[in-house]
Structure 1
Amino acid sequence: MSAVALRCDADAERKLAHLRERFAEAFPVRAADEGVGRDVDRDADDGAGGDVDAVAPFAPVAAHGTFVLASAPGRLEVAGNHVDHQGGRVISSAIGERVWGLAAENGKHLVRVSMEGFGTDAIDLNDADWRRPHGVETQSSGALLRGMLAAYDEAGGPLRGFDLATCSEVPAGCGLSSSAAFEVMVGAVLEALFGPGPFAGTPEPAPGQVAAEGGEGGFVPLDPVALALAGVTAEQRYFGKPCGAQDQLASACGGTVLLDFGPKVPTVTPLAFDATGVGYAVVLVDSRQDHSVHTEEFASVPADMRMVANHLGAARLGDADVDALFASLQDIRAALGDGRVMRALHYFDEVARVDRQRQALEEGDFPLFLKCVRLSGASSAQFLQNVSPHGDGCGERQPAMLIQGLCAHLLSEEGAWRIHGGGFGGSVLALVPVGEVSGFMEAMDGLLGYRACREVVVGGPGVLARRLP
């Protein structure tokens, strides 16, 4: 069994014990001689919006059905910044930190959720409007939950009421895609509880899944692409963020993968990415500037790119030609402005870089890979301009850009760095020689005045689910 699988198996047992305690507190079972006590329909109101640190109990139920344990990892964007939503190609890896959920049917018409650190929520499946987005939930975990339930139901899944307790190792707002991991985990819970349904996969588990989740008997085969695309719909339509599908696919598939968003259904190609094996550590440096509050600025990137694509007669830049951009450059500058043109230039160059990085990994040319990472970081800063938010009143504060400057000072050409993920704050990705990683992290933390650095384990299992005995 691999070290990653062993770690995941041990984590699963620890998380299961923790979630069993939280589940029992949040969703009590009524004693045989105990009355109902209150109208169970009030759960939809009484449970929602609870204290994020407390376990707020819902109304008791007579019994719970079979329990399922599901988890999904956060993701590392290895290559390809802001190109997935335009039909480009990216390289992504699952990370060791995961979002976990323990669930069981509750015999009601309610879906009730207790989320550690994020309060509680409840959705009444008898409500005629439960499938539509609710404006008050925008950019909340409740919106993601509703979106995943609706996707499962609309695809023909046999949805019934259930209780779900969750916890997360993936920090929010740092660019590690905690929201995508949550979406994928919820989808896995639905398939494990009610399947086979629209998220069902092949009978054979992916490599590492059986070992990582505790044996063949409880393994639930999942379709990672179906789960991921449902998550994209939840995030776009319900949460209100115009994301691409990179985050959800990376979380669902696991390992390190090349994702090609050119086809209608994205293609997934496994890649070998072993930075440690060639003497490098993967470090994320937290800017402490929460990127999740800058959705409008994030949304401007795909919007600007689509405007250029439309001017070139295409729906997205992946369907346009870079030569056509240069041929009509002056017209596009006059019509749309230089900022949008620069973002389009970033797209075309970034996709070409991803292809070179894939080739570099396949041929073992890590110096070329590092060079492309540095060029990607420069392009995001100069042309895409997604490192620092502009409209939040921060004024002179540009922590993510400052961190890149510090990386340049500390690493020079011996490492590489770039803004990670959607940008506008969040984290900076640094590839650091293994022999220098302790000194780098100590120096960076000291310069920033807080514990900013975390070394990241990449390439672990994707979404996992099992039915418990």
Structure 2
Amino acid sequence: MRVVEAFRETFGGEPAGVWHAPGRVNLIGEHTDYNDGLVLPFAVPWGVTAAVSPREDDVVRVRSLQAGEPLTVEKLDEAKGWARYVVGVFWALREAGHPVRGADLVVDGDVPQGAGLSSSAALEVAVGTALNELYGLALTKMEIALAAQRAENDFVGMPCGIMDQAASALAEEGKALFMDCRSLGVRNVPFDLARHGFQLLIINTGVHHELADGQYARRRQDCENAAKRLGVASLRDVTDLSGALSRLSGDERRRTQHVVTENHRVEAVIGLLRAGVVGEIGGLLNASHLSLRDQFEVSCPELDVAVEASLRGRARGARMTGGGFGGSAIALVADEHVRAVRDSVTGAYAERGWAAPEIYPATPASGARRLT
């Protein structure tokens, strides 16, 4: 295993173990997690693998096979760049009172770059899962996810919700993870695409717009402002949408409309999946994209073209997925139309002089686990 060989080369010994945590793609339920709402992600086959051994001091030595030379961090708050996602997990666990000391780590990731499949959450959860076992913390998978989220929120400084880390920690093979982000209740919902003759294609635009810098936090602030104006704890609590919209204007009105209707779409998708009619969720995926484009305003031309071209190629439904402003779209496609969708999307990009997007099928994979 490459990560074990690199650990031997870097630290001159054997790791205590190897752990893996996957990235995720969100089937539906976008920008609802930090509004105490509903989400339906699933784990993807790609993620982060970590070879780890504990230390008897508080030093963290970490090497990423994607980032180059190993780093030594003696004081956690001195960590820089990508290492903050690793060190932040140590910090979060220590802040919670857990007896976590240092470690030697080598991490290796194969999440497609720029796809918005949450490689950061995979890295955090892989490290958290390793430390949980190495230091005998007896944390549940949800507690590991919450520690990983705190690392990203309070140490890295990214105000993400809990969805990415929870999906990485708790997902099951062949299933989507339905999660109530307020209660933290979860239920795995069967999502066997092959059985029903479908594939879910990820269309990686490879695009990251600088426009996105700070935009995620602004969208979150819009939602919090709207909830405060409506006198509710979060937009999850809006039950009379038309009445709420009549009291709002501008960005706050648009953000509220998206969040409330997106929660309803998640529930509708779950009902259809439980009924075994996978193809019928396509219209809800389409509606989600339009809402993200027009009400939440987090799409971009590359995502819109990917969605529109997929539908021209006879996809049953398509939408952007993830935070937006780039990253990936997903398309639900019957097996017999996969080639047509691929050709339609690559042709639409070529017409505009854009680099061809990467397109690959994603099957629901297992969550975080020890490999050796």
Q: 2:297 maps to what in 1?
A: 385
Correspondent of 1:156 among 71, 94, 97: 97
Deviations 1:204-226 (A, max 9, x none): xxxxxxxxxxxxxxxxxxx2101
What code does the residue aligned with 1:428 have? A
Q: 2:152 maps to what in 1?
A: 235
Correspondent of 1:332 among 231, 240, 248: 248
The secondary structure found in structure 1 opposite 2:207 is coil
**1:460 and 2:372 aligned:** no
Shift in Å at residue 459 of structure 1? 2.1
**1:179 and 2:97 aligned:** no
Evaluate the alpha carbon distance shift between residue 151 and residue 328 of structure 1 in structure 2; reply closer, same or farther with a 3 A threshold. Answer: closer
Distance across 1 between alignment mates of 2:247 and 2:362: 47
* C-alpha contact 1:94 1:460 (8 A) present in aligned 2: yes
What code does the residue aligned with 1:421 have? G
Distance across 2 between alignment mates of 1:292 and 1:417: 24
Question: Which is higher, the Rg of structure 1 or of structure 2?
Answer: 1
Distance across 2 between alignment mates of 1:155 and 1:339: 37
Distance across 1 between alignment mates of 2:14 and 2:197: 49
Q: 1:407 maps to what in 2?
A: 310
Distance across 2 between alignment mates of 1:331 and 1:173: 38
Shift in Å at residue 74 of structure 1? 0.8
Evaluate the alpha carbon distance shift between residue 441 and residue 151 of structure 1 in structure 2; reply closer, same or farther with a 3 A threshold. Answer: same
Q: 2:193 maps to what in 1?
A: 275
What code does the residue aligned with 1:415 have? R
What code does the residue aligned with 1:410 have? G
Correspondent of 2:207 among 276, 289, 293: 289
* C-alpha contact 1:298 1:424 (8 A) present in aligned 2: no
**Residue range with higher mean Cα deviation, 174-183 or 359-368:** 359-368
Evaluate the alpha carbon distance shift between residue 111 and residue 92 of structure 1 in structure 2; reply closer, same or farther with a 3 A threshold. Answer: same
Correspondent of 2:218 among 300, 306, 330: 300
**Residue range with higher mean Cα deviation, 154-163 or 275-284:** 154-163
Deviations 1:6-35 (A, max 9, x none): xxxxxxxxxxx211221122223xxxxxxx
Q: 2:52 maps to what in 1?
A: 103
Shift in Å at residue 97 of structure 1? 0.9
Deviations 1:124-154 (A, max 9, x none): 1xx4xx3x5x6x83xx322211210012222
* C-alpha contact 1:97 1:169 (8 A) present in aligned 2: yes
What code does the residue aligned with 2:242 have? F
Distance across 2 between alignment mates of 1:444 and 1:278: 23
Q: 2:73 maps to what in 1?
A: 123
* C-alpha contact 2:201 2:362 (8 A) present in aligned 1: no
**Residue range with higher mean Cα deviation, 341-350 or 290-299:** 290-299
TM-score, length of structure 1 as denominator length: 0.73
* C-alpha contact 2:309 2:344 (8 A) present in aligned 1: no
**What pairs with 1:55-454 in structure 2 (closer than 5 Å)?**
67-119=16-68, 120-124=70-74, 127=75, 130=76, 132=77, 137=80, 140-195=81-136, 197=137, 200=138, 223-255=140-172, 256-263=176-183, 266-290=184-208, 294-319=212-237, 321-323=238-240, 326-327=242-243, 329-333=245-249, 338-388=250-300, 398-411=301-314, 414-449=315-350, 450-454=355-359
Distance across 1 between alignment mates of 2:182 and 2:159: 17
Evaluate the alpha carbon distance shift between residue 438 and residue 331 of structure 1 in structure 2; reply closer, same or farther with a 3 A threshold. Answer: closer
What code does the residue aligned with 2:370 have? A
Structure 2 regions of 5+ residues with no counterpart?
none
The secondary structure found in structure 1 opposite 2:63 is strand
Structure 1 regions of 5+ residues with no counterpart?
1-16, 29-63, 202-222, 389-397
Shift in Å at residue 107 of structure 1? 4.4
Distance across 2 between alignment mates of 1:152 and 1:141: 18
* C-alpha contact 1:291 1:426 (8 A) present in aligned 2: no
Shift in Å at residue 233 of structure 1? 0.7
How many residues align structurally? 364
The secondary structure found in structure 1 opposite 2:107 is strand
TM-score, length of structure 2 as denominator length: 0.91
What code does the residue aligned with 2:30 have? N
Cα RMSD after superposing both structures? 2.1
